[in-house]
A and B are shown apart, each in its own frame.
Chain A
Amino acid sequence: GAVVSQHPSRVICKSGTSVKIECRSLDFQATTMFWYRQFPKQSLMLMATSNEGSKATYEQGVEKDKFLINHASLTLSTLTVTSAHPEDSSFYICSAPIRDSSYEQYFGPGTRLTVT
């Protein structure tokens, strides 16, 4: 069964509003989680590393004030897309290492965001 869940799986919002996406590790703890964005027919682009108890680390070119990340507990990371615009429409995927110090990751099922 799934070991990383995301909610919601699909969301449609109006331009200018904010949307929160949750990523949960099931039955294991994750001090680190990763957020990726994937545009149609493109690969996964890492947006940021979510760190439990500290600030997220953003990749170059990703606006930290627009994509707010909160890693509130060892099993939950949230990504909030603020003031969403149509160009933010994408597939957002989170992942978590299968264990500390492991490079292998469990991926969530993804969240399809459509901004109208």
Chain B
Amino acid sequence: GQNIDQPTEMTATEGAIVQINCTYQTSGFNGLFWYQQHAGEAPTFLSYNVLDGLEEKGRFSSFLSRSKGYSYLLLKELQMKDSASYLCAVPSGNTGKLIFGQGTTLQVKP
């Protein structure tokens, strides 16, 4: 089965950098997703990592280490609008379904 672990809450200051960690245990690995979700809205895609290393996309970067079962999402130059939940998810087997971690609620303060 799958087990995904993320911190429940984080707080950071506007303009700063924050790193949100995700550890996972899966039987088979087909990549790892990060989604952003604002309250009452659907998740929006941020990144998909299949290979080890850091992938940068504007202010957001995502890192993966398959050997360690570890990923992080790095948010730079934080803005107030970045206050949201960040969800780590992995595909389950070959069915296409995603299993989500409990999500990390990030609060950005002025």
Task: Check if A49 sits within 8 Å of B43, measured CB to CB.
Answer: no
| In the complex, chain B residues whose CB is within 8 Å of the CB of A107 | 42-44
Q: Give CA–CA (A107, B33) in the complex, Å.
A: 13
Q: At the interface, yes or no: B72 with Cβ under 8 Å from chain A?
A: no
Residues of the B chain whose Cβ atoms lie less than 8 Å from the Cβ of A93 = 42-43
**List of A residues within 8 angstroms of B48 by Cβ:** 103-104
**Are B91 and A103 in touch, CB under 8 angstroms?**
yes
Number of A-B contacts (CB under 8 A): 54
Measured between beta carbons, the chain A residues less than 8 angstroms from B95 are 49, 57
Q: Which of A61-114 contact B (CB under 8 A)?
A: 91, 93, 95, 97, 101-105, 107-110, 112
Q: B99: CB under 8 A from chain A?
A: yes
- Which residues of A line the B interface, CB within 8 A? 32, 34, 41-46, 49, 57, 91, 93, 95, 97, 101-105, 107-110, 112
A–B Cβ pairs within 8 angstroms, 24 of them: A34-B96, A34-B97, A43-B87, A43-B100, A43-B101, A43-B102, A44-B43, A45-B100, A46-B98, A46-B99, A46-B100, A57-B95, A91-B40, A93-B42, A103-B31, A103-B33, A103-B48, A103-B91, A103-B96, A104-B33, A105-B98, A107-B43, A110-B41, A110-B42
The 7 A-B residue pairs with the shortest CB-CB distance, nearest first, are A107-B42, A43-B103, A103-B91, A44-B100, A43-B100, A43-B102, A109-B42
